[in-house]
Amino acid sequence: MRSVNEFLATVPFDLYQLHLFHLVARHRSFTRAAELAGLTQSAITRQIQAMETGLGVGLLERTTRSVDLSPAGQFLYAESIQLLGDVDSTLQGLREAFTGARPVVRVGVSRSIGLAHLPGFFHANLRRRPEVGCRVGCLDSDDILAALLANELDLGVMCGRAKLAKSLQVTHRFTDAFALIVPADGNGVVPTRGDALAKWVSEQSWLLISDTTTTGQRLRGWFRKQRWSAEPAMELDSFDLIINLVSLGMGVSFVPVRALALYPNKRSIRRVSLKQRFERELVVVTRRRTRMPEHLSGFIGNILF
């Protein structure tokens, strides 16, 4: 068996070089990676070249206009993202436990979650634990999961998925019901069942959440299950914006019931009751940890659904 010293002497790169490689891979730019690392572009280039020489494989495919990952680079990036996240998580815990650093919870919220949901995520913790800071960003679900693996986020709030990476876990689940909304002064009488409803659906100008989102894909699948044909006149990534456009008479939509709570002028919107009901599951996702920091477990416990 090789000794630790023998192993370290032959390792083709160190954690610092791996971190630099991740910066280049994520931003697809040596210039941007150099800015973030506080180095010159030539210094970043030398570090990556040393990694490639030590490994005996090319990690990046460079052209005059772009930087892409080679198959070997894709493998290294995917397999090492959790490793760097684990190291960063350990250092973060060390700082918070022994240097008196103010604990901060970094939260990623999916773009398809409306503003009305946010007080339930943050209000109780701000009231009960004012010493705990909170940093919030709105991201796509894929970006939330990648940031969790890299330990750039502590928790994510997003639409539920069938599969997660083994290093991630769901701590909470809750159901988010949707409602059909139409402009209050238009669209006449809305049929509520059968062929008449299907015909009405096909004739409307639909404002739908983007099909690039998990919610948008599932909503369209639900439409197909109902055998409804609904071509979107406009696709957006915000339910709050959709509600405002419906109130201006620009179309109809399905939106989360909870999102309607913050809309100040509900008289310009009419909610239609249907037998069919669309729901999505929202989840809170974190990294799996041997021991979750107290301020993070407390924050999760304070989330109100």
Q: What mean pLDDT comes out for the span 175-183?
A: 94
Taking the mean position of all CA atoms in its chain, how far away is CA 266? 29
Residue 206 belongs to a domain with what CATH number? 3.40.190.290
pLDDT tops 60 at residue 36: yes
Residues of the domain holding 162: 103-174+289-302
Whether residues 67 and 138 share a domain: the answer is no
Whether residues 212 and 271 share a domain: the answer is yes
Domain total in the chain: 3
Whether residues 66 and 109 share a domain: the answer is no
Whether residues 166 and 180 share a domain: the answer is no
What whole-number distance in Å separates Cα of residue 270 and Cα of residue 268? 7
Q: What mean pLDDT comes out for the span 112-135?
A: 87
Report residue 286's pLDDT band, with 50, 70 and 90 as the boundaries: very high
Q: What mean pLDDT comes out for the span 117-146?
A: 88
pLDDT tops 70 at residue 8: no
Backbone angles phi, psi at 184, to 5 degrees: -65, -30
Residue 268's pLDDT is what? Answer: 86
Residue 26 belongs to a domain with what CATH number? 1.10.10.10
Q: In the chain, count of helices (H) and strands (E)?
A: 11, 11
- Determine, yes or no, domain membership for 90: no
Whether residues 39 and 115 share a domain: the answer is no
DSSP state of 222: H
Report residue 106's pLDDT band, with 50, 70 and 90 as the boundaries: very high
DSSP string, 6-74: HHHHH-S--HHHHHHHHHHHHHT-HHHHHHHHT--HHHHHHHHHHHHHHHTS--EEE-SS-EEE-HHHH
- Determine, yes or no, domain membership for 260: yes
The candidate with the shortest Cα–Cα distance to 173, out of 275, 280, 298, 251, is 280
Place of tokens 């015909």: 199
**SS3 of residue 228 by DSSP:** coil
Give the residues across from 27 on adjacent strands: none
Whether residues 203 and 145 share a domain: the answer is no
Which is more confidently placed, 289 or 172? 172
Report residue 37's pLDDT band, with 50, 70 and 90 as the boundaries: confident
Element (H, E) at 157: strand 155-159
Residue 158 belongs to a domain with what CATH number? 3.40.190.10
Rg (CA), the chain: 24
- Determine, yes or no, domain membership for 219: yes
- Determine, yes or no, domain membership for 96: no
Whether residues 188 and 134 share a domain: the answer is no
Whether residues 158 and 205 share a domain: the answer is no
- Determine, yes or no, domain membership for 88: no
Q: Any idea which of 152-156, 243-247, 261-265 has the lowest mean pLDDT?
A: 261-265
**Predicted confidence (pLDDT) per residue in 263-285, tens digit:** 766 678 999 989 889 999 999 99
- Determine, yes or no, domain membership for 247: yes
Whether residues 218 and 121 share a domain: the answer is no
Whether residues 295 and 168 share a domain: the answer is yes
The candidate with the shortest Cα–Cα distance to 296, out of 156, 86, 91, 119, is 156
Backbone angles phi, psi at 28, to 5 degrees: 55, 40
